Amino acid sequence: MHEELADRFMAAITGGDVDTLRSLYAPGALIWHNGPGPGGGAEQGVDDNLRTLRWLSRNLRDFRYEEIRRDALPGGYVQRHVLRGTLPDGSPLEIAACLVVTVDGSGRIARIEEYADSRGGDPLRDLAAAQRAARA
């Protein structure tokens, strides 16, 4: 089981530790998220994913993963969790998600497929849109 890798990954996300996150990804790692787009989602590389995760850690207070359940898979693991935090306006955020994580031979994350409650992410999309509009 890749318990230590998974724990380090979650701690680095919530702590906004981009250097640790980058070290946990294999070269060329890809992260797929369900949602709109061809094939029912969108894929991103490590740099784009790190920007997203850094933005989350900067914009959510009390950012945490709870109700974590993990199971080993051949070559990786599956994790179910609930992402919780508080938005800048004080509103609570709660998104249920499932990650299917593929780990390469060196013990680094080669691929993540994230299935998240897309409606739960609406407040984050609204916040990002408001921030873009304020910069324009």
Mind listing the pLDDT tens digit for each residue in 4-40? Answer: 999 999 999 999 899 999 999 999 999 999 877 677 7
User: Is pLDDT at 1 greater than 70 in this prediction?
Assistant: no
pLDDT tens-digit readout, 77-127: 999 999 999 999 999 999 999 999 999 999 999 999 999 987 777 777 777
**Which residues touch 129 (CB under 8 Å, ≥6 apart)?**
none
> Which DSSP letter does residue 81 get?
E
pLDDT computed for residue 71 by the predictor:
97
Range of the domain at 40: 3-134
pLDDT computed for residue 92 by the predictor:
93
**18 vs 57: CA distance, rounded Å:** 10
How many domains, the chain? Answer: 1
- Phi, psi angles (nearest 5°) of residue 58: -85, -25
pLDDT computed for residue 128 by the predictor:
76
Note whether 2 and 76 are within 8 A (CB). Answer: yes
Helices (H) and strands (E) in the chain, counts: 4, 6
**Which residues touch 88 (CB under 8 Å, ≥6 apart)?**
59, 61, 127
- Phi, psi angles (nearest 5°) of residue 107: 85, 20
pLDDT tens-digit readout, 31-90: 999 877 677 788 999 999 999 888 888 888 999 999 999 999 999 999 999 999 999 999
Laid out side by side, the sheet with 76-86 consists of 41-45, 25-34, 109-116, 92-103, 76-86, 61-73
Query: The whole model's pTM is what?
Result: 0.87
Identify the helix (H) or strand (E) that includes residue 39: none
Task: State the CATH number of the domain containing residue 9.
Answer: 3.10.450.50
